[in-house]
Amino acid sequence: MQQIENLDAWRVTEPEIMEMDRYLSGANAPDVEEDVRLCIASGARDMILDCAQLGYLTGAGARLFLNAARMMKDVGGALRVGNLSGQPRDLFMACGLDVFVPVEEDVAVARVPDKAFAAQ
């Protein structure tokens, strides 16, 4: 059996876009976190969480963003958030998550990789 020497061959080159549910809480955050983990395992190193449908965010849901950012950082990847508005945006900013996870007005802007990620 031949061993794969260059694991970067499995790297997904387009940003992985994951659409968030209307409500993100402790009830569904573990499932979303598992989806992020599976995307990373499949080679995604550039991920965008599309929050256009997200209408309500709890503290447990906010923790998901931080955990996802940590998972992506651990594999040398980048995580961004797009279309975040209303109560979810207010909570996100109040918690200071924008320091760890860049927030873009929309997914089209978020699709442009930042220079730090592009240099890797």
Residue 54 gets which letter from DSSP? -
Residues in the chain: 120
Mean pLDDT of the chain: 84
- Among residues 3, 107, 101, which one has the least CA distance to residue 52? 107
For residue 120, is pLDDT > 50?
no
Sort strands 56-57 and 23-24 into parallel, antiparallel or unpaired: parallel
The amino acid that residue 47 corresponds to is M
Contact 29, 63 (CB under 8 A): yes
* CATH C-level class of 14-118: alpha beta
Residue 64 CA to residue 24 CA, distance in Å, equals: 9
For residue 111, what pLDDT band results from cuts at 50, 70 and 90? low
The gap from C-alpha 43 to its chain's centroid, in whole angstroms, comes to 14
What are the structure tokens assigned to 81, written together?
């958030």
> How confident is the model over 20-38, as a mean pLDDT?
94
Residue 7 CA to residue 96 CA, distance in Å, equals: 34
Name beta bridge partners: 79.
47
- The tens digit of pLDDT for each residue in 61-108 reads 999 999 999 999 999 999 999 999 999 999 999 999 999 999 998 777
> Looking at residue 7, what is its pLDDT?
46
SS3 66: helix
Global pTM value: 0.79
Domain boundaries, the chain: 14-118
